[in-house]
Structure 1
Amino acid sequence: MLVYHGSDHIIEKPEYGLGRDDCDYGRGFYTTKDKEKAHSWACLYGNEKSICNNYSIDLDNLTVVNLTEKGVLAWIAEVIANRGVKAERVATIGNLIRDKYKIDTTAADVLIGYRADDSYTEIIEAFLDGYLTIEEVEKLFYKGELGEQVFIKSQKAFDMLEYKGYEEVIDDEKYLNSDRYARRDVAEYLKRRRDQYSLGIEVKGLTAREVVLNNYKYEVIAGFGHYIIDDGKLDILR
């Protein structure tokens, strides 16, 4: 599989053990299968230069956990476990969701899932606040076009990375504008939902309070993801 990493410098040999613990999935190396996303991330975080580093990785002998296939709750719980939550008012419900829905990723060599940078964690906190549903969280991450990331987690996975060269990203403004427009649209949606919630308009769908008060499991039926409550009743479609 080919993967890409946007940066401000060339990285021929990513080093295991570097990075921050409070990123989406913890300390490791963040890549994507989407070269366009890597170009965008390079422009966002580059200084004098924007570089897209190219790699290949053989996943055959690695333990891969795809959080996208585990449902949005598993992904939210993983992000909360690593990033925490900024707003104290939602810390309790965030911790409850983490404890209840986080899957065990300790044996994973590679994690695959949505990307949530610092500003997009507002979507998760809006869900914890009660004015977004699980379905809306998923739609907003697609709308924000943050893309899916391939997280290189273990030493074994690092050893499997093979450097394939790099390219300098030239059209910075194209990627920066795309990101600005996406963030603007998401911010406007969040403000609209926050205003509706403050006016007492009912939030319809699976909320944070509901998933804490009841036990839900995620199943894929006929290619579609469903959250199902303990009694087997279909509660929400993805």
Structure 2
Amino acid sequence: MNLPDVIQLGPLLVKMSMLIVVVSIILAFAAVHFRLREKKELKRTIWEVMSSSLLLAFLVWKFSYVLFYPSKAIEQPASILYFSGGDRGLLLALLAAIVYIAVTVRKKELPIPVFTEAIAVGGWTAWASSFLLTWAVEGQNSWYYGQQTIIGLVFMLVVIRKKETEASVVFWLQRLMWFGISQVYVGFFYQKHTPLFAGLSKIQWLCYFFAALALFLISRAKETGGASHEKE
């Protein structure tokens, strides 16, 4: 039995999908907290960077509606509150968050290996929990959501259990490559799978491209010695 798409919290109506996102983010921060529990000052700084990047991404995604639909935004200003920039706005928000994180990490001189691991653990925790909660709420397409949950948990555990000597560029590129491959595979089980070319959807082709790019960068990194983060 499916749960309602909207639930009422006092005077507020909250979409279930938005509630799932919020819970997943909270779990991601909790995962980072436990991972960095012995590094309190560093944990606080990383939390600040994560919080600011998420807020920036949300604002860019939300108000990118004005950028992509200026005439509608001018005619009906209230529409900005109800609509967003969609998939294009999401990509723009992701780019803005990445640029902000890169600049802030360099400015604050945060240790890249620790920060990268924290982001990876938090990110894959959010990934696994969001699909698990969506699976529980929607009660359908369990094969797709179940596999995505397992993928997130596996990658999170791989990062947690990695050795210090594995904190290299090649290690992270390999994880990204295999994650991209996993998304090409699991995409065939998505209920709304729509082939674009050669049986692959637009998202699958995008993941395939990033997996191939990661493989190319791995070969280049190995040729130059596979420098670790500590040496950067």
When normalised by structure 1's length, the TM-score is 0.27
When normalised by structure 2's length, the TM-score is 0.28
Mark the structure with the bigger radius of gyration: 2
Bigger relative contact order, structure 1 or 2, given CA contacts below 8 A and separation 6+?
A: 1
Compare the two structures and name the one with the higher helix fraction: 2
Compare the two structures and name the one with the higher strand fraction: 1
